[in-house]
């Protein structure tokens, strides 16, 4: 029987008992919206000094590398975390082997070192993704984790210096991983149900590149531009009021009028920051256009919507439907595909929709 590759709710790992001495406080909590999605189990230790850490899988540490941030170990008994590696100290294959033999899968990095951690991951991303000796599942985890850190910064300030270079490199890594037949399944298993702008943009990029490849687009530059456009597709939302972006209920008509301007704002951001690739601009400006002419911001008919934007439109809608929103629970993948294929069939490109459905079907 066919099964659809739908995201499963991420497993909640046990916190364990007693991580701090009597009188200290340990808390595992979800940060505020737009903070550390997917890595949202935060370890806070309050003793003589408050310290907060986020978890990292040991597979993200590259043997032979110099790690620019502190690495901490937690205990299962009644003791606080301990410093495992200081900043700017080598992490070797022997270190990893010892951790594996000890049953350690997760280490902890102080939030104060989060910028150094992102730089560390990003510098090694493409080489690790392109390494055929690594299991696809490990490469997928590296991509997802690194991308979340990058996209968290990009959606906050898409005009920041170096954004184009970072997004182009990230899109190239997405395209590299999607060469593997099992890569989409591996990344889908790591996706989150909770909606955050930066995780949503990453998901849309993964789906869009996979769909473009399935549609026969094999030119590296075009695939990279589709990926970059998908990563940047909601960049125009940076020009909208935060109260509108984070509104827990449905929009009024006035609010919708403003929200419908975000593709145009996005195109403005691209032009201001040196993006000149037509495909990237097409995805950002036209991902809400619909084949029946009901989309925005221009109400384009089917024949005038670029292929890259038609692809992104399907992937954008699917991911939005299958993640929890403030006003709507996540739908099952099958239900979302039924809506796209049946209820809203006139809105989306028929050929790309059918191909997307086949792409998500795997024989079990």
DSSP β-ladder status, 50-57 and 106-110? antiparallel
CATH number at 215 reads 1.10.3210.10
For 278-311, the pLDDT digits (tens) are: 999 999 999 999 999 999 999 999 999 999 999 9
| Inside any domain, residue 82 | no
| Inside any domain, residue 43 | no
pLDDT score of 50: 55
Total structural domains in the chain? 1
Angle at 322 (CA atoms; ends 316, 326), nearest 5 degrees:
95
- Burial class, 23, CB count within 10 angstroms (exposed 0-12 / middle 13-18 / buried 19+): exposed
For 315-336, the pLDDT digits (tens) are: 999 999 998 876 678 899 999 9
| Inside any domain, residue 103 | no
Residue ranges in the chain whose pLDDT is less than 50: 1-4, 6-40, 47-48, 363-364
pLDDT score of 144: 94
Q: Which two tokens stand for residue 339?
A: 């809506």
| Inside any domain, residue 81 | no
Per the CB < 8 A criterion, the answer to whether 230 and 209 are in contact is yes
pLDDT score of 203: 96
- Burial class, 52, CB count within 10 angstroms (exposed 0-12 / middle 13-18 / buried 19+): middle
pLDDT score of 41: 52
| Inside any domain, residue 77 | no
pLDDT score of 6: 45
């Amino acid at each position: 029987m066919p099964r659809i590759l739908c995201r499963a709710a991420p497993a909640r790992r046990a916190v364990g008992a007693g991580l701090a001495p009597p009188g200290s406080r340990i808390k595992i909590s979800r940060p505020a919206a737009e903070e550390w999605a997917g890595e949202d189990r935060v370890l806070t230790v309050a003793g003589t000094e408050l310290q907060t850490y986020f978890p990292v899988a040991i597979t993200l540490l590259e043997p032979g590398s110099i790690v620019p941030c502190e690495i901490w170990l937690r205990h299962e008994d009644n003791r606080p975390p301990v410093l495992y590696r200081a900043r700017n100290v080598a992490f070797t294959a022997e270190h990893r082997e010892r951790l594996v033999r000890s049953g350690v899968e997760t280490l902890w990095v102080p939030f104060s070192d989060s910028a150094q951690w992102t730089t560390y991951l990003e510098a090694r991303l493409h080489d690790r993704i392109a390494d055929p000796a690594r299991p696809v599942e490990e490469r997928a985890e590296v991509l997802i984790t690194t991308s979340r850190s990058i996209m968290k910064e990009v959606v906050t300030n898409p005009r920041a210096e170096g954004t184009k270079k970072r997004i182009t490199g990230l899109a190239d890594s997405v395209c590299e991983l999607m060469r593997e037949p099992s890569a989409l399944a591996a990344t889908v298993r790591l996706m989150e149900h909770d909606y955050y702008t930066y995780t949503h943009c990453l998901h849309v990029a993964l789906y869009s590149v996979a769909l473009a490849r399935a549609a026969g687009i094999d030119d590296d530059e075009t695939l990279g531009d589709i990926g970059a456009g998908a990563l940047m597709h909601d960049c125009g939302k940076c020009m909208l009021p935060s109260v509108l972006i984070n509104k827990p209920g449905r929009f009024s008509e006035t609010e919708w009028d403003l929200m419908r301007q975000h593709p145009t704002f996005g195109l403005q951001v691209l032009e201001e920051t040196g993006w000149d690739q037509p495909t990237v601009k097409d995805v950002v400006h036209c991902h809400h256009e619909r084949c029946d002419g009901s989309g925005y911001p221009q109400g384009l008919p089917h024949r005038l919507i670029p292929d890259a934007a038609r692809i992104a439109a399907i992937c954008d809608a699917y991911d939005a439907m299958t993640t929890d929103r403030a006003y709507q629970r996540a739908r099952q993948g099958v239900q979302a595909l039924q809506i796209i294929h049946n209820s809203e069939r006139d809105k989306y490109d028929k050929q790309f929709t059918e191909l997307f459905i086949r792409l998500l079907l795997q024989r079990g």
